[in-house]
Amino acid sequence: MLARLSLKHSRGDLSLAMSLTVDAKHETPLTLIHRPVVRVLLLLLLGSLFLPAHPWRHMSSSLLFDIVSTLLSAILSKHLRNMGAQSSTNSHPGTNPMGNLNYNPADDPYYISNLDSPIDSFIAEAIDGLEFTNIVHIVLESMRADSYPFKENGLLAQHIEQSFEKPPNSVPITTSNISPFIASLAENTISWETMWATIPFTHKAMLGRNPPPKKIPTNAQIIADN
Amino acid sequence: MNSVTKNDPTILGMMLNGSTHRPSTSNTWETVYIEMATGEYDHEREILETAGFSTVICAEDKQALDPETPFDSMMGYFDDYGMEVLWDYVDTVMERSPRNRMYLGWMTSTTHMPFMINPEWVEKSYQGFIKDDSEWSSLDRWLNAIRWTDDKVKEIILGFRERGLENETLFIMYPSPLSVQNQF
């Protein structure tokens, strides 16, 4: 190994090649044993042979394993801290030394002011000419596009139709029974079809979104096709 | 609990964002956000205060006033308590002279698991839509939570009508998944 290294490096770094070559020239198995590091390793190896027998002793129950894993952990931690300190001057909260793989609130549109941006044209048109003194801002937690106003042909209604038994005297699941007031007010509501849940397979996320048209068939379509 | 904001808060800029509308009687906005979910959850209170609401009322505020009443669930209190606060606030603003402009935020958390519907409403108005044997009987409760919410939206809008404020009030309503406010 040392000889190969000396040949490889001799093209670019003469001094390194010379020293390695000298090492390779004088190293023998007997001289290696006299090295302190090799002695310690041999001692640990010998000691591991006397450990109580169990299937995992070669993996975890040895002093060598503990030393190596502890040293590696300390070296990695120190290295990551150093990288974090070096990048702290130009990073945002939420970034990490490994890059911007994680969620970063600094990039979250929720937290970024758009005061300098022009008002959305749709909203501008909607409130054009309106004069108002007050604003009432209602947030409907966890309410989904299919459910308010309740859509009788929506994904949620299809899911209920396919998956649940209706008792004999159950109330019909209709818009007028679920959300009569908002249905009477809003002939059209807005759905942002490009909004997606970050965890797509939760119950709410599956019910909440509208599938892109003509791309993903609904369960009902799959059943009908088969 | 009520407070007066001397300057237009950031949240107004975020929502109106360059609109040419100007106050007809006063440049002073009173801004409040009311919810009976806990303000600690998801740092809701911090976010709302950062957004510019001068007053944020959450479940912890009610508990501070009434320490003997524990939360109705880990989410906080039934939204009905928040409705009481909402109308107290509106009536207080109405009585002020001169009257300031009002920005009133309200969040209903009834449609969030575990679908906390006030037992009084359940007794009078709950309807059985489907047979759901799950632990929470969740989907049936959720459908009724939507009905409850529809009732409250009606109560808010008609409440403003009764107070003569309907025609001077802009109502903005959206679900939480769309609450990325600078989409506007």
Which one has a higher pLDDT value, A208 or A170?
A170
| A181 in contact with B, Cβ within 8 Å | yes
Contact between B150 and A147 using a beta-carbon 8 Å cutoff: no
| B96 in contact with A, Cβ within 8 Å | no
Q: What percent of chain A has pLDDT over 90?
A: 8
Q: List the single range of A13-27, A85-99, B105-119 with lowest mean pLDDT.
A: A13-27
Which one has a higher pLDDT value, A160 or A173?
A173
| Cα dihedral across residues B23, B34, B46, B109: positive or negative | negative
Contact between B151 and A181 using a beta-carbon 8 Å cutoff: yes
What is the per-residue pLDDT for A212?
Answer: 42
| Extents of the domains making up chain B | 28-172
Beta-carbon neighbour count of residue B59 at 10 Å? 24
Phi, psi (degrees; rounded to nearest 5) at B143: -60, -40
What is the per-residue pLDDT for A61?
Answer: 55
Contact between B184 and A119 using a beta-carbon 8 Å cutoff: yes
What Å distances lie between residue B81 and A90, B12, B66, B87, CA to CA?
46, 26, 12, 10
Mean pLDDT across A112-135: 84
pLDDT at A34 over 90: no
Smallest CA–CA distance from A122 into chain B, residue: B184
Beta-carbon neighbour count of residue A139 at 10 Å? 19
**Which residues fall within 8 angstroms of residue A142, CB to CB, at 6 or more apart?**
A204, B109, B111, B112, B113, B175, B176, B177
Contact between A164 and B139 using a beta-carbon 8 Å cutoff: yes
Contact between A137 and B15 using a beta-carbon 8 Å cutoff: yes
Mean pLDDT across A23-31: 61
Q: What percent of chain A has pLDDT over 70?
A: 50
The pLDDT tens digits for B159-173 are 999 999 999 999 988
Of B127, B136, B183, the residue nearest A119 (C-alpha): B183
Confidence of residue A177 (pLDDT cuts 50, 70, 90): very high
* pTM of the predicted protein model: 0.62
Smallest CA–CA distance from B22 into chain A, residue: A131
Residues of chain B found within 8 Å of residue A197, distances taken between Cβ atoms: 177
Beta-carbon neighbour count of residue B75 at 10 Å? 22
Helices (H), chain A: 2-10, 14-26, 29-33, 36-49, 63-87, 121-127, 155-163, 175-178, 180-185, 203-208, 219-225
What is the per-residue pLDDT for A101?
Answer: 56
Tokens in use for A50?
A: 């006397």
**Which residues fall within 8 angstroms of residue A143, CB to CB, at 6 or more apart?**
B111, B146, B149, B175, B176
What is the per-residue pLDDT for A84?
Answer: 59
What is the per-residue pLDDT for B9?
Answer: 43
Show the low-confidence residues of chain B (pLDDT under 70). Answer: 1-25, 135-137, 177-184
Q: Helix, strand, or coil here: B32?
A: strand
Contact between A139 and B107 using a beta-carbon 8 Å cutoff: yes
Contact between B37 and A140 using a beta-carbon 8 Å cutoff: no
What is the per-residue pLDDT for B184?
Answer: 31
What is the end-to-end Cα distance of chain A in Å, rounded?
Answer: 64
Mean pLDDT across A60-72: 71
- CA distance, residue B119 to nearest chain A CA (Å): 18
- Which H/E stretch holds residue B48? helix B44-51
Q: What is the C-alpha to C-alpha distance for residues B4 and A25, in angstroms, rounded to an integer?
A: 86
Question: Of chain B residues 123-182, which have a CB less than 8 A from chain A?
Answer: 127-132, 139, 143, 146-147, 149-151, 153-154, 156-157, 160, 165, 168-182
Residues of chain B found within 8 Å of residue A192, distances taken between Cβ atoms: 178, 183
Q: What is the C-alpha to C-alpha distance for residues A135 and B116, in angstroms, rounded to an integer?
A: 27
| Extents of the domains making up chain A | 1-43, 145-226
Residues of chain B found within 8 Å of residue A160, distances taken between Cβ atoms: 129-130, 139
Which one has a higher pLDDT value, B97 or A84?
B97
ipTM of the complex as predicted = 0.83
- CA distance, residue A85 to nearest chain B CA (Å): 27
Asked if residue B101 lies in contact with residue B30, where contact means CB atoms within 8 angstroms, the answer is yes
3-state secondary structure string across A135-195: EEEEEECCCCCCECCECCCCHHHHHHHHHCECCCCCCCCCHHHHCHHHHHHCCCCCCCCCC
Q: What is the CATH number of domain B28-172?
A: 3.40.720.10
Residues of chain B found within 8 Å of residue A106, distances taken between Cβ atoms: none
Question: Of chain A residues 129-158, which have a CB less than 8 A from chain B?
Answer: 130-145, 147-148, 150
Q: List the single range of A113-127, A134-148, B2-16, B73-87 with lowest mean pLDDT.
A: B2-16
What is the torsion angle, in degrees rounded to the nearest 10, for the CA atoms of residue B9, residue B10, residue B13 and residue B14? Answer: -140
Q: List the single range of A99-108, A113-122, A215-224, B31-40 with lowest mean pLDDT.
A: A215-224
What is the per-residue pLDDT for A113?
Answer: 73
Walk across the sheet containing B29-35 and list its strands: B55-57, B29-35, B101-108, A134-140, B169-175
Q: List the single range of A27-31, A60-64, B50-54, B99-103 with lowest mean pLDDT.
A: A60-64
Confidence of residue A16 (pLDDT cuts 50, 70, 90): very low
Q: Please, what is the average pLDDT of chain A? A: 68
Give the burial string for A59-73 (b: 16+ CB within 10 Å, else e).
eeebeeeeeeeeeee
Residues of chain B found within 8 Å of residue A173, distances taken between Cβ atoms: 129-130, 143
